[in-house]
Structure 1
Amino acid sequence: MNRFQVKKVAVLGAGVMGAQIAAHLVNVKVPVVLFDLPAKEGPKNGIVSRAIDGLKKLKPAPLGVAEDAALIGQANYEEHLDQLRDCDLIIEAIAERMDWKLDLYKKIAPFVAPHAIVASNTSGLSITALSEALPEAIKPRFCGIHFFNPPRYMYLVELIATPTTEPQILDQLESFVTSGLGKGVVRAKDTPNFIANRVGIAGMLATMKEVENFGLSYDVVDDLTGKKLGRASSGTFRTADVVGLDTMAHVIKTLQDNLTLETDPFYGSFGTPEVLKKLLALGHLGQKTKAGFFKKVGRDVLRFELESEDYVPAGQKADEVYGRMLKKPAAQRLALLRNAEGPQGQFLWAILRNSFHYAAVHLASIADNARDVDQAMRWGFGMKQGPFELWQEAGWLQVAQWINEDIAAGKTLCNAPLPDWVFKGPVAEAGGVHTPQGSYNPSTNTFEPRRQLPVYARQHFPEALLGEGAVTFETAGKTLHEDEAIRLWTLDDEVLIASIKSKMHAIGPGVVEGLQQGIELAEQQYKGLVIWSGDEPFSAGADLQSMLPAFMIAGVDAIEGAEHELQQLMLRLRYAGVPVVSAVRGLALGGGCELAVHSARRVVAMESYIGLVEVGVGLVPGAGGLTYIARRAAENAATSTGKDLLPFLTEGFTAAAMAKVGTSALESRKLGYLLDSDVIVPNKDELLFVALNEAKSMFDGGWRAPLKRQFPVAGRSGIATIQGSLVNMRDGGFISQHDFHIGCLIANVVCGGEVDAGTLVTEEYLMALERKAFCSLIVHPKTQERIMGMLSTGKPVRN
């Protein structure tokens, strides 16, 4: 088999984007060397060294674990160009200056390997113009690759071909970026700002223009254009602050410099807004300078006011009537907004109409098909639906007629007519641009199916667009059992899948019963059981609300019984006759974490956040989490020459007592919730594919559950040592008296209670201690305050 392998990557340019791209490559275990200019003073790699050090301080963190910064190779253009010969992919990410980029290409060209792909991470410069500085031998292997910032978290990557880029080069790069880096790839045409920034920044400029027209404040606009509108929760102006107002100004300037009224009829709305000019002049660049459209002073949020050039109190919300309108079905929603009398409703219709108008006029010039536009806006700008999706859902021809009427009335940003394909031909007949046959390509006047690259066979249920008619995981495959709590089903008749259906995939009695049933069914007929619920989170933990009625009626005995059933489930998972694989994505907290750690294996999406967080509601882990910590400590100590268990307990005790949550799958492994044998998957949509294969390969390899055995605990001496540390923390004011009490209970369980150090115990023995501690806390007034506070506000109570 001949396939393109990326064994090593070079990133040219240690600026904000280059360094973070290098960091993400390290996250997914791809060797990388980061280049920059030689430093004028000190070590020649000084520029790169400082950039790598800076990665450890950035928020949100570009690295899964900060120590991995040491894995990024350091190089400069003066001494180390020879290292490029070993690289399969070279990503150029220097400043957006055409002359600098062209000069660098000439410098590196003699050192590029004959098979290597060279890609520029520009956000708007012409890829074709850049390619002209390259030798003829490299041109077929050159393209654009546009990561969105921050590269670790943003799902979108745009790939841009030149007229000389070989098709298989883009296919190879798309496969690597999709599976290796965990991204969603959109192919853009070589036009200014490509797809997402072209449509997105034009939309932000149009929004700012309409804000002036309707006289709305920035906080009200952000309230209207955030989650209520199905967009990123940061809305419009807060998003601009996060992106950086200097970055936004640069992207706007790219539009201004590379487009004209002849090439873009909306050009008149591309002027830099006066408020943006003023903020830039004041040096208020957004989040990076702690002031932009908004700034925070203590706990107060202020918004900028252009008239006074000062900040005033923020916090205004939109009228509730529009929040209710935005919850209506799409057709009804748009009709209500179009006919609204208030400025907020008129504003919302205007920005939606403008987005439809702009996307339709420019589809043919910026993208191959409507799918790429909608996916780019979903993945790059956090929209639940792209512009074409919403338009189609609301009624294609009706919305088109409304837009036409507004064009005729002079209400739109420009008088460019909607393209003919909107009103006649395949789109009009199908009622939109997305169909089961594919998405509309205006160049061929046909519906174009998705690309059938082999890498996409790894995605059983890729993110679908409205109108595609894709099979959903809720109805796919063969159902063996389904109720309101769980669905047991199979895709291939080899492995059983358990999909939890409760809110936040919380673990209540129905889920416990369903998983028990799933294990029995898998043991009888299948090679394994995969716990995968389709979307995030994996599980937010035990369903506390379902326990409360039983507690009110039967008291603590009901809680003790529910906890015992949960613990029995965990042991059943651990000792099942077939491998149980937890496919974790998003949150796996409390009971969700316990579910994962008691499985035979974990297959985990990179952006997963795992931890035992019960302390936050005044409880201790009660379904075997503390038992797991004690057992793992004993197993790790058994491989060491030391006899003292306590050093191996410290990390686990601290994680549980402080409710530590791994901020990535990599950090969760460091905390002990994942093992070296567990699999971390970069792309969320490949999680089920990998988990099913893991279960099958484990079974086919002769997998057997571990035998039950006793293991040593730290005993009363371990408890005393931990309690000594807790006393210091309490007396120093770092923890409350109730925190101290909870910490002592955790120490008692993980150390095995009042026994001698080295005493052998069973999991059942420790679970009984765990259950006792949990039940003693559930009746404690301080814990009840914390539980009720969390249920009512969603925030932890400190008492």
Structure 2
Amino acid sequence: MTRGIRKAAVLGSGVMGAAIAAHLANAGIACLLLDMVPTACSKEEEAAGLDLQSAKVRNRLASQAMERLKKTNPAPLFVPAFADRITPGNIEDHWERLGEVDWIIEAVTESLPIKKSLYARLEEVWKPGTIVSSNTSGISIREMIEDCGEALRAHFLGTHFFNPPRYMKLLELVPGPDTDPELLVWMKHFAEKKLGKGVVVAKDTPNFIANRIGTYGLLVTLQEMERGGFTVEEVDAVTGPALGRPKSATFRTLDLVGLDTFVHVAVNVHASVPEDTAEKAAFQTPGVLTELVRRGWIGEKSGQGFYKKVKGANGKSDILALQLDTLAYEPSRKITSGSLEAAKSAKGARNRIKALLGGHDKYADLAWNIVKPVLIYAAEKIGEIADTVVEIDDAMKWGFNWDLGPFELWDVIGVKASLARMEAEGTKVPAWVQAWIDEGNETFYTQRETTGFYVHQQAWKPMEIQPEQISLASLKQQNKIIKGNTGASLIDLGDDVVCLEFHSPNNAIGVDILTMIQQSVDEVRRNWRGLVLANEGRNFCVGANLMLLLMEAQDGEWDEVDHIIRTFQNTMLKLKRLEKPVVAAPHRMTLGGGVEACMPADRILFSAETYFGLVETGVGLIPAGGGCKEMALRVSQSAGSADEDVQPFLNKIFETIAMAKVSTSGEDTRNLHYMRAQDRVIMNPDYRIYEAKQAVLALDRDGYVLPEEELIRVVGEDGRAVMQLGALQLYQGGYISDHDLLIARKLAHVLAGGNAPAGTRVTEQYMLDLEREAFLSLTGEPKTLQRIQHTLAKGKPLRN
């Protein structure tokens, strides 16, 4: 199928409609955002002399939505400038423009009559071939389009984005009975590649997959809570990370979603399932939720729900928890027990869950009584809401941020053992599950990445090979590790390309990782076409190993501190001097030393959600692994001629590093001058290792030649004075502390080239020596050591 989406339209500028338009803009797709024409002018509009015929009035709803986009936190847009890709309008004056677009997304009120009326009108201007979809969260895809012509029905499907669309990975595609199968396949690939989504294909059933299972699980939790007399804090202690779920657990999640929104979803399923069934009863809204919604206590957007934040006597915020029996708020309590502590001590979601469920206290029992019905319900829905365990598991992981889907969890705790426990407890299990085990199967997956998984109708289905989604975990299972140590591994990606993966705690760079980088450079130089720097950790790299540095500094081992920094610098320089192409593919938090590990690469492929920054000033230091040197080099390279003034550019670099600015997205690295012309952003993080490998191969095919070392033109004493003056003004205004000013002065000295005269061209090693000298002097400052200690203990910077 030959098609493309260059321009789209979103009908409805509410929270979801506007956020979807924003994410289309993030993906480089121009978008019309249309809403209704207001029926009356506001007081401000009347005062400005406007009337109902004024364009500003007629476009008000969409224009206001765009203003909200710019203020929403977390930001729906990668960078504010992407708002220019969205054109606000209204469905009266701009209706005909729908014939210009390639994709129309309906995101209006969740009302079947309203949607049907809209589609009847849309068919009048619909251009054959244009994709049309609804962002409904549960209304029947078949019913809303059944009165339209065959051609439109063939190009129609559900596209259920999860909120907020930029950050939530899940997109449920829901074909109708007449949806063109080729269109469905094309849209799945487009959404994965261009929009960066994790796509599952759902059946046209109430609330599709994730909300169906997730809502059931939340209702079961509330019912078990009431039955066992548990508190809000107790339930959240059990249903958070200990059970492989987000820190927001049950009640913080409900507060974030909005209790009114959750009740709407539950009511929708309750109204759609057969009468006089256990499922109907399970989706009955609990009385406490009904009462809280009646009171307007609907969660974070109203200021209170199951939790309430108040100012304490000391001026700090206190968290209060709702008492379900009295509906009064009391200070939130910390919950602990043997099973919870065992789960906390275990490494990895699988081990945490096994530790919790393997406990022998009331919280282990609570966890089991919550998990058991969800496993059974998910099994009952196979064939109804989805055909394979994969769609259900992926939907729950991507839509509810569970570490494991229901069937993955069932495999972890042991299907046979859990069935025996269920039988002993008198719990009825779906017949197909028992039959599956009776046939000699023990799991729902066989080595998932390489073999297969269970599908409806009692069969194994081979896992489809996804060449664009390289899994380092799978490659390691296939014994593709070339060499490694406790901090990093070198892995064969195929086609004579290797990947250096960090896997130390938090991927912090220590001696083990530096050693592996050096060994990897030697290995690649001898035997491979090129090197990828990437990993599958939660974050790419949070920086250098501060604990090691603190211990040496506290002991006064200054020669050892100097050795550590020299080793870091020499390692990065060795990586930069590798005669084979190097491509870095960072993701999420990439800070300090993590940034410096990427900078030597010939290309950087930023994941869309990459938070990238040299943050060393936050711990009282400056970048000393080549970060300052590389940024000074960029300033020098920006000069078109020997007499061009680069001071304005250098001032921006100085501000970025001194204020420890971190990009808010991969795209934002451009604004902070971390992105070069050859670098780019990858929308789907699952594709970044594949894309990095392809970039290495392309550089190699083009006859890669190691760039010659460039001398760095420095601004000297006058340029240093300009930067230091800016810092002094901030100090005098009370914006920075004495120690901040000291750090800023040393940073300015390094970036300006030390005492070299303005215009002097210096070597990279000269700049590295300046970095190291400044770093060592700051390491000897008591306030710097206080900052490091505080960061290690609290996980956030200290301003002293």
TM-score (norm 1): 0.92
1:123 aligns with 2:137: yes
* Structure-1 residue corresponding to 2:309: 296
* Structure-2 residue corresponding to 1:184: 198
* Structure-1 residue corresponding to 2:33: 34
Q: Is the 8 A contact 2:63 2:89 kept in 1?
A: no
Shift of 1:21: 0.9
* Structure-2 residue corresponding to 1:460: 470
> Structure 1's 326 and 645: CA in aligned 2 closer, same or farther, altered over 3 A?
closer
Alignment of 1:165-564 (within 5 A): 165-262=179-276, 264-298=277-311, 299-324=317-342, 337=357, 340=360, 342=362, 344-407=363-426, 417-425=428-436, 428-436=439-447, 437-442=451-456, 444-450=457-463, 456-461=466-471, 472-476=474-478, 478-548=480-550, 550-551=552-553, 555-564=557-566
Distance between the aligned counterparts of 2:114 and 2:257, measured in 1? Answer: 24
Q: Which amino acid aligns with 2:715?
A: A
Shift of 1:652: 1.5
Q: Per-residue displacement from partner, 1:136-157 (whole Å, max 9, x unpaired)? A: 1111111111111111111111
Shift of 1:19: 0.8
Q: Is the 8 A contact 1:531 1:581 kept in 2?
A: yes
How much identity, in percent, do the aligned residues show?
A: 37
Secondary structure of the corresponding residue to residue 586 of structure 2: strand
Secondary structure of the corresponding residue to residue 200 of structure 2: strand
Shift of 1:475: 3.7
* Structure-1 residue corresponding to 2:44: none
Q: Which amino acid aligns with 1:374?
A: D
Q: Which amino acid aligns with 1:674?
A: M
Q: Which amino acid aligns with 2:470?
A: H
> Structure 1's 591 and 129: CA in aligned 2 closer, same or farther, altered over 3 A?
same
* Structure-2 residue corresponding to 1:774: 775
Secondary structure of the corresponding residue to residue 775 of structure 2: helix
* Structure-2 residue corresponding to 1:466: none
Distance between the aligned counterparts of 1:335 and 1:70, measured in 2? Answer: 51
Q: 2:80 aligns with which of 46, 53, 66?
A: 66
Q: Per-residue displacement from partner, 1:699-748 (whole Å, max 9, x unpaired)? A: 21233232222232222122222222222222222111111111111111
Q: Is the 8 A contact 1:238 1:294 kept in 2?
A: yes
Q: Is the 8 A contact 1:498 1:530 kept in 2?
A: yes
> Which blocks of at least 5 consecutive residues in structure 1 are unaligned?
409-416, 463-470
Q: Is the 8 A contact 1:224 1:318 kept in 2?
A: no
> Structure 1's 333 and 32: CA in aligned 2 closer, same or farther, altered over 3 A?
closer
Q: 1:608 aligns with which of 571, 594, 610?
A: 610
> Structure 1's 519 and 313: CA in aligned 2 closer, same or farther, altered over 3 A?
same
Q: Is the 8 A contact 1:716 1:753 kept in 2?
A: yes
> Structure 1's 229 and 701: CA in aligned 2 closer, same or farther, altered over 3 A?
same
Greater CA deviation, 233-242 or 433-442? 433-442
Greater CA deviation, 306-315 or 378-387? 306-315
Distance between the aligned counterparts of 1:331 and 1:157, measured in 2? Answer: 29
Shift of 1:56: 1.1
Shift of 1:759: 2.6
> Structure 1's 334 and 659: CA in aligned 2 closer, same or farther, altered over 3 A?
closer
Q: Per-residue displacement from partner, 1:586-628 (whole Å, max 9, x unpaired)? A: 2211011011122111012111111011111111111111112
* Structure-1 residue corresponding to 2:621: 619
Secondary structure of the corresponding residue to residue 529 of structure 1: strand
Distance between the aligned counterparts of 1:326 and 1:168, measured in 2? Answer: 47
Q: Which amino acid aligns with 2:468?
A: R
Secondary structure of the corresponding residue to residue 587 of structure 2: strand
Q: Is the 8 A contact 1:610 1:668 kept in 2?
A: yes
Secondary structure of the corresponding residue to residue 384 of structure 2: helix
Q: Per-residue displacement from partner, 1:530-568 (whole Å, max 9, x unpaired)? A: 112233322211222334555566721221222122222
Q: Is the 8 A contact 1:189 1:366 kept in 2?
A: yes
Greater CA deviation, 570-579 or 165-174? 570-579
Shift of 1:276: 1.6
Alignment of 1:589-608 (within 5 A): 589-608=591-610
* Structure-2 residue corresponding to 1:160: 174
Distance between the aligned counterparts of 1:242 and 1:330, measured in 2? Answer: 26
Secondary structure of the corresponding residue to residue 166 of structure 2: coil
Q: Is the 8 A contact 1:327 1:333 kept in 2?
A: no
Distance between the aligned counterparts of 2:615 and 2:689, measured in 1? Answer: 26
CA RMSD of aligned residues (A): 2.3
> Structure 1's 567 and 553: CA in aligned 2 closer, same or farther, altered over 3 A?
same
Shift of 1:763: 1.9
Secondary structure of the corresponding residue to residue 798 of structure 1: coil
Shift of 1:307: 4.3
Distance between the aligned counterparts of 2:773 and 2:629, measured in 1? Answer: 13
Greater CA deviation, 316-325 or 500-509? 316-325
Distance between the aligned counterparts of 2:100 and 2:387, measured in 1? Answer: 34
> Structure 1's 428 and 798: CA in aligned 2 closer, same or farther, altered over 3 A?
farther
* Structure-1 residue corresponding to 2:127: 113
Alignment of 1:744-755 (within 5 A): 744-755=745-756
Q: Is the 8 A contact 2:553 2:779 kept in 1?
A: no
Q: Per-residue displacement from partner, 1:272-309 (whole Å, max 9, x unpaired)? A: 22222222122222122222111211311112234444
> Structure 1's 51 and 366: CA in aligned 2 closer, same or farther, altered over 3 A?
same
Distance between the aligned counterparts of 1:515 and 1:331, measured in 2? Answer: 31
Q: Is the 8 A contact 1:229 1:326 kept in 2?
A: no
Q: Is the 8 A contact 1:476 1:491 kept in 2?
A: no
Secondary structure of the corresponding residue to residue 639 of structure 2: helix
Q: Which amino acid aligns with 1:380?
A: G
Shift of 1:11: 1.6
> Structure 1's 393 and 152: CA in aligned 2 closer, same or farther, altered over 3 A?
same
Q: Is the 8 A contact 2:232 2:323 kept in 1?
A: no
Q: Per-residue displacement from partner, 1:76-124 (whole Å, max 9, x unpaired)? A: 2112223222322221111111111111111211322322221111101
TM-score (norm 2): 0.92
Q: Which amino acid aligns with 2:490?
A: L
Q: Which amino acid aligns with 2:369?
A: A
> Which blocks of at least 5 consecutive residues in structure 2 are unaligned?
42-53, 312-316
Distance between the aligned counterparts of 1:734 and 1:610, measured in 2? Answer: 24
Distance between the aligned counterparts of 1:134 and 1:447, measured in 2? Answer: 38
Distance between the aligned counterparts of 1:478 and 1:25, measured in 2? Answer: 38
Q: Per-residue displacement from partner, 1:37-80 (whole Å, max 9, x unpaired)? A: 23444522221111111011111111111221122122321122
Q: Which amino acid aligns with 2:430?
A: P
> Structure 1's 642 and 671: CA in aligned 2 closer, same or farther, altered over 3 A?
farther
Shift of 1:184: 1.0
* Structure-2 residue corresponding to 1:465: none
> Structure 1's 690 and 337: CA in aligned 2 closer, same or farther, altered over 3 A?
closer
Distance between the aligned counterparts of 1:53 and 1:601, measured in 2? Answer: 35
Q: Which amino acid aligns with 2:621?
A: L
Greater CA deviation, 551-560 or 747-756? 551-560
Secondary structure of the corresponding residue to residue 295 of structure 1: strand
